[in-house]
Amino acid sequence: VSRCQAKPHRPLVDEDFTSAHKLAFDITGNELTPSSKYDFKFKDYAPWVFRNLREEFHIDASDYLVSLTSKYILSELGSPGKSGSFFYFSQDYRFIIKTISHTEHKFMRKILKEYFNHVKQNPHTLLCRFFGLHRVKLPHGKKIHFVVMGNILPPNRDIHETYDLKGSTLGRAISDEELNSNPRATQKDLNWVNRNRKLELGPDRRHVFVEQLKRDAELLARLNIMDYSLLIGVHDIERGNKDNIRDNTLKVFHPDTTKQLAREPSRRDKRESKIHALRAAVKESDPVALSPSALPSDSFSDRRHCIFYADDGGLLSTNEQNERGEDLYYLGVIDILTPYNYVKKVEHFWKGLTQDKHAISAVHPREYAQRFLNFMTHAIKVNHDVVEVLERNKHPHSE
């Protein structure tokens, strides 16, 4: 990042979307010559493209580096999710580091130019924000691909409800037992429907939200993408942060090198001592049972440039008169790296034999996008009586 950022700005060319740069490092972060024994090799994909994307999203390069190179990394998930991915958070909860499969990695490189152009043309896109694509190779050949993304949820607000909505209803619910044992669990489509939840957006915000969602879904359908969802985090303004949810659920990852360093003989080279200590500390560290986090008390300034993040990092609910409501919404379309490939087509065929083929998650991208938009449109509260009165007031002599 720092190398690319230090160079003068220039227009992007086609080669920038396929370029990659390799570097070798020891565990302390010192760059090595290609022939040296390394702790890991780092590959940076399309650095110029991601530099431009970060600028489009108003991410300051210095802030980005400080957030991601700090010695503390937040970990909210101690084990991989359903996709097999691991999620880590930067210390300030601003960025997510997510491991992805080699297939997802290749697909992202394939769609990167279309994604970039969409972001340029849609500065208020709801699609998840990608800031970097990388690969780490360990000495014994294991390769780890990962992306750096923006965190949709805020660092300064408790999230009282979280929903992951696909527009699919088959199997899209968590049980009451699970919800009782973990009230902060991410709920799904049927939970949303059964609880009669609605996004409360007045006509102005409703129009902007639906129109942007249409443009984003159109891109995903064109790129043959499905299985994405709308993540909704709800902050109840009246409850505020009194539950202290964030500090009770987020922990910090901090390898303790002091003990390891103390064991090293004083004659040993300091650099070798530090390397040995870090290797041992990382190996022994447990990223789950850790001390409480200290998060920023304000949302980040880059978020104010997007309509959907302009209200203290989120979108304030409003009524039919566009008056402020009682909730803050944090919205974004996530998991956009799943193409409708052979595997998904087979899944659609087999599940369609015994279940409603239009209700299952794996459907053709065009059908998926339409179903997704229909569900999200109906997920917004509309008081038709109030709308009718307002329309009559606009046109008092129309009858």
Place of tokens 């998060």: 295
Residue 251 has pLDDT above 90, yes or no: no
Which carries the bigger pLDDT value, residue 82 or residue 383? 383
Q: How confident is the model at residue 63 (pLDDT cuts 50, 70, 90)?
A: confident
Q: 200, exposed or middle or buried, with CB in 10 Å at 0-12, 13-18, 19+?
A: buried
How confident is the model over 171-187, as a mean pLDDT?
Answer: 89
CA separation (Å) from 179 to 34, 66, 182? 52, 37, 5
Q: 298, exposed or middle or buried, with CB in 10 Å at 0-12, 13-18, 19+?
A: exposed
In this prediction the pTM is 0.79
Q: Which CATH number fits domain 155-244+306-399: 3.70.10.10, 3.10.180.10, 3.30.810.10, 3.40.50.300?
A: 3.30.810.10
Q: Rounded distance, CA 227 to CA 18, Å?
A: 26
Query: Could you tell me which of 13, 44, 21, 212 has the C-alpha nearest to residue 113?
Result: 13
Q: How much is the mean pLDDT over the chain?
A: 79
Lowest-pLDDT choice from 217-221, 261-265, 372-376 = 261-265
* pLDDT score recorded for residue 288: 47
Residue 290 has pLDDT above 50, yes or no: no
Structural domain boundaries in the chain: 1-151, 155-244+306-399, 255-284
Which carries the bigger pLDDT value, residue 186 or residue 75? 186
Place of tokens 């530090």: 274
* pLDDT score recorded for residue 174: 92
How confident is the model over 298-325, as a mean pLDDT?
Answer: 82
Contact 165/376 with Cβ under 8 angstroms?
yes
Contact 170/360 with Cβ under 8 angstroms?
yes
How confident is the model over 210-229, as a mean pLDDT?
Answer: 96
Question: DSSP for 45-80?
Answer: ESHHHHHHHHHHTT--HHHHHHHHHSS-EEES-SS-
Question: DSSP for 168-209?
Answer: --TT----HHHHHH-TTSPB-HHHHHHTT--B---HHHHHHH
Query: Could you tell me which of 197, 194, 203 has the C-alpha nearest to residue 382?
Result: 203
Q: How confident is the model at residue 275 (pLDDT cuts 50, 70, 90)?
A: very low
Which carries the bigger pLDDT value, residue 250 or residue 264? 250
Q: At what angle do helices 61-69 and 47-56 cross, to 10 degrees?
A: 110
How confident is the model over 317-345, as a mean pLDDT?
Answer: 90
Q: Across-strand partners of 149?
A: 96, 130
Which carries the bigger pLDDT value, residue 26 or residue 338? 338
Q: Rounded distance, CA 58 to CA 61, Å?
A: 9
| Residue 49 CA, distance from chain mean position | 19
* pLDDT score recorded for residue 80: 44
Q: How confident is the model at residue 395 (pLDDT cuts 50, 70, 90)?
A: low
Q: What percentage of the chain carries pLDDT values higher than 70?
A: 66
* pLDDT score recorded for residue 46: 95
Which strands form 31-32's sheet, in the order they lie side by side?
A: 31-32, 20-25, 40-45, 130-137, 143-150, 95-100, 87-90, 73-75, 251-253
Domain 1-151, CATH: 3.30.800.10
* pLDDT score recorded for residue 258: 47
How confident is the model over 171-200, as a mean pLDDT?
Answer: 91
Q: Rounded distance, CA 321 to CA 328, Å?
A: 17
* pLDDT score recorded for residue 62: 82
Q: Rounded distance, CA 22 to CA 5, Å?
A: 17
CA separation (Å) from 398 to 117, 389, 395? 44, 13, 5
Which strands form 315-318's sheet, in the order they lie side by side?
A: 161-165, 229-236, 324-334, 315-318
Residue 74 has pLDDT above 70, yes or no: no
* pLDDT score recorded for residue 305: 75
Which carries the bigger pLDDT value, residue 88 or residue 314? 314
Q: Rounded distance, CA 224 to CA 221, Å?
A: 5
Q: How confident is the model at residue 4 (pLDDT cuts 50, 70, 90)?
A: low
Q: What is the per-residue pLDDT across 195-206, written as a single tens digit (0 to 9) for each? A: 999 999 999 999
Q: How confident is the model at residue 247 (pLDDT cuts 50, 70, 90)?
A: low
Residue 252 has pLDDT above 80, yes or no: no
CA separation (Å) from 121 to 128, 225, 263? 15, 19, 57
Q: What percentage of the chain carries pLDDT values higher than 90?
A: 44
* pLDDT score recorded for residue 65: 83
b/e 154-191 (16+ beta carbons within 10 angstroms → b):
bbbbbbbbebbbbbbbeebbeeeeeeeeeeeebbbbeb
Lowest-pLDDT choice from 53-62, 95-104, 344-353 = 344-353
